[in-house]
Amino acid sequence: MCIASFMFFAIYFDYITWAMVQLSGCAQVAGSCGRIGARMSGEFKPLGFWATGAVMIACTVMRIRYLRLHVGWALAAAVWFLVSAPFLMLFDDMWSGQLTFGAVFSTVPIAFLYLVAFAIYLSFPLEEHTERGGEDEEEGPMARLPERLRLATGLAALHSVLLSLAIAPEFPKVVTQLSESVGLGEMLSNAQPTAAYLLNFGTGGMAPAYAILAIFIAGLGAGVVTRTNALSVPA
């Protein structure tokens, strides 16, 4: 549903704007069509994107609670989404043809890749392979993962959250607005380059981050495989 809603606002909403312009007869009054288009594209379309994101976050949180995952996963998903929001808003220009595949692939943030991987993981029917009343139901879908792999997956998620905040230029601005402390925002802004450098293990590039992303995806994949095979193996 969220994907369909996102595609509607990214691609088809401008057809609604075009239809409203045609039906309003604004072409008879010079300059009136621009106001309609500006309001539809400048107010309602971004609002639709944010409403879709809010529904997605709500569904993700409810899914996490239903699967009895740790609340930290909900916080991580929220950070991934908020950091990815500027990238997702690029699709607002699909109608005008200003968005190209090159622009998409060159600006996709690593937080978005984590968000997609985690969303795919949650989409599997993991609850159908849970032993009701047993240890699995209490500890969630990752209960059968080896402890080291479970720890590595969690640390990979934590690393991605910290790195996402370290490379997000909007993060200090948001903190400044919420805390009403300009000094705190400036301190975070000054600390971001150093934090990003350390989180990339001093390489100055994103190769370590993508390697950790691979560990994260492998951990989630192993969680799906062990969960779906757990009850199919005869005792």
For the packed helices 110-123 and 71-88, what is the interaxial angle rounded to 10 degrees?
130
Which of the four pLDDT bands, split at 50, 70 and 90, describes residue 51?
Answer: confident
Q: Is the pLDDT of residue 184 over 80?
A: yes
- Residue 74 DSSP code: H
Determine which of 38-47, 116-125, 165-174, 181-190 has the lowest per-residue pLDDT on average.
38-47
pLDDT at 235: 44
State pLDDT tens for residues 143-160. Answer: 666 778 888 999 999 999
Tally of CA atoms within 13 A in the half-sphere of 48 that contains its CB:
22
Residue 158 CB partners (closer than 8 Å, separation 6+): 76
Q: Is the pLDDT of residue 174 over 80?
A: yes
The amino acid sitting at 187 is M
Question: By the 8 A CB rule, do 223 and 141 touch?
Answer: yes
Q: Parse the chain into domains and list their residue ranges.
A: 109-230
Q: Is the pLDDT of residue 125 over 70?
A: yes
The token pair at 32 is 């009136």
CA distance 204 to 49: 33
Among 33, 46, 40, 121, which Cα is nearest to 77's?
Answer: 121
**Tokens 């968000």 found at:** 115
Query: What is this structure's pTM?
Result: 0.80
pLDDT at 53: 82
CA distance 206 to 141: 30
When comparing pLDDT for 231 and 106, which is higher?
106
Determine which of 140-149, 158-167, 174-183 has the lowest per-residue pLDDT on average.
140-149
